[in-house]
Copies of this chain bind each other. A is one copy, B any other.
Amino acid sequence: MRNFKLCLSYDGSRYRGWQKQGNTPDTIQEKLEALLSRLLEQPVELHGSGRTDAGVHARCQTCSFRADTSLPCPRLLELIRSHLPEDIGALSLEEAEPSFHARLSCRKKSYVYFIWNSSSPNVFYRKYSGTCPEALDTEAMERAARLLLGEHDFSSFCSLRRMKKSAVRRLDSVDISRSGDMLRLEFTGSGFLYNMVRILVGTLIEVGRAQRRAEDMPALLAARDRQAAGFTAPAQGLFLWEQRY
């Protein structure tokens, strides 16, 4: 059995997210597993670096799978590309160490959230950004973001009511930058809870609009209560961006 590392890119608009859900064919994992199993004539299990919710995109989603095949990687990549729908792209395929696992081996992950920050519409980014017509105080957002860095229990930033597992994660950096009317927020960390990035973004937007104070972030973390944080920013602005191994 050879072990493969496959990097995918996808427009999440019409999918119910990454993870397979029984018998809906509308998830990326489901679609890819079916395709690989068909092409390689054997059942293939595909592991992604992490899940993405319905409507969330991936600039790069690193995956791994094992298969018994003698096909050279370039040929297999070409084969995969020729069978993918136009909203899923295969960026690269290479053979990996036997121990490599896209999720378990992942050391760091980053997500990027785009906010179209103007009252004038942008039709080309409508599926690829959240929108905020009000002016945003990005300095206050940066102050708030700095107070969230490090290792914390991020329960306040998780949509699942009953978390059995630990909600402790390490947030390494939050970079906020602007290009014209587009605001870009990049989050890098050890891992992220369900909806965590979108709730972080919603909370930072509320800080930017002066509906919350940056200084309240430590109390917000300490509350360990979803109700204490801001709104969940819409899925279409979020991109799974990069993974480090």
Contact = CB atoms under 8 A, between A and B. Distances in A.
A190 interface: no
Interface stretch (A42-50, A87-95, A104-112): A87-95
A88 to B, nearest CB: 7
A87 B57 CA distance: 19
A122 B86 contact: no
Copies of this chain present in the complex amount to: 2
Tier of interface size on chain A: 20 to 34
Interface of chain A, main secondary structure: mixed
Contacts of A9: 121-124
Interface string A49-66: 000000001010000000
A31 to B, nearest CB: 13
A90 B9 CA distance: 31
Nearest to A126: B86
Interface in A119-168: 120-124, 126, 128
A11 interface: yes
A57 B126 CA distance: 14
Contact of A123 (B86, B120, B121, B123): B86
Interface of A: 9-11, 57, 59, 81, 86-92, 120-124, 126, 128
